[in-house]
Structure 1
Amino acid sequence: MILPCIYAFFASFGFSYVFNLRGKNMFYAALGGGLSWFVYLLFAGCFSSDVPQFFLSMVAVSLYSEYMARKHHSPVTVYLVISYIPLVPGGGAYYTMEYLVGGETQLAMETGIHTLFVAGAIAMGIVLVSSMTRILAAYGRRRREKQESSESA
């Protein structure tokens, strides 16, 4: 289980170089890639499909990215985009096209639908955490403003 996570870390590290990240951001973004694959493997036997694994992995990676962005005063996308590289369903898209070109319509449909579900799970994980973070930040701002106004009165 550890070796695939190390591979995901180095793959993410390579992409962080391609995306022109420098310094500590390269390491922390790549660490998110290793985390994404670790969480994916952690839930390997828990579900009948791998779609919930992708969703839970993206929730963990999104939380990690939000935390790192605030800690290092960087945009969330610096960490998020690199961190979900190991989860991108590129193989599913490739095999869907291969089956279509080969005339295997049934396999193409099955693979394509599964790929869409995986992509949807990834997107929903990001949206859920991003929305909750914004809601909590707005709540914290309003609470601070309310305390400041009551203290000044």
Structure 2
Amino acid sequence: MFDHTGIVVSDLKAARRFYDAVAAALKLQTISNSPESFLFGHSADQPIPYLWIGTTRPSYWVEGSRAGRNQMHVAFVAEDKAMVDAFHRAALAAGGRDNGAPGPREGAGDYYGAFVLDPDGNNIEACCRGAAAR
């Protein structure tokens, strides 16, 4: 769970296409924020937590940082295994690259997840735990 986090991307149009597909698979939304960014979250009515996605260089970045250089990992909660599977299919169809097919993860208990790399190489995951993962 998080309040917010953010990633910088090099191509906002490609990122929007990718995250629109992922949002639909996870029953989430993307919300326009500015000409250089958008938000990924529940809805405009429930704005937090959110993932900020944009092309603007954040003021807190250290010298030498750029999109895709400092790979980020973000895991989104899925309701069940079917939603994890839908996330993986949608992400691949929208230009993501497989980084771990849907399935249980050894040593993680009742856990089912899938990993994809977004267009800038950030590791994006959807997972479910407990009874939903069995």
Shared fold, TM over 0.5: no
Higher helix share: 1
- Larger radius of gyration between Structure 1 and Structure 2: 1
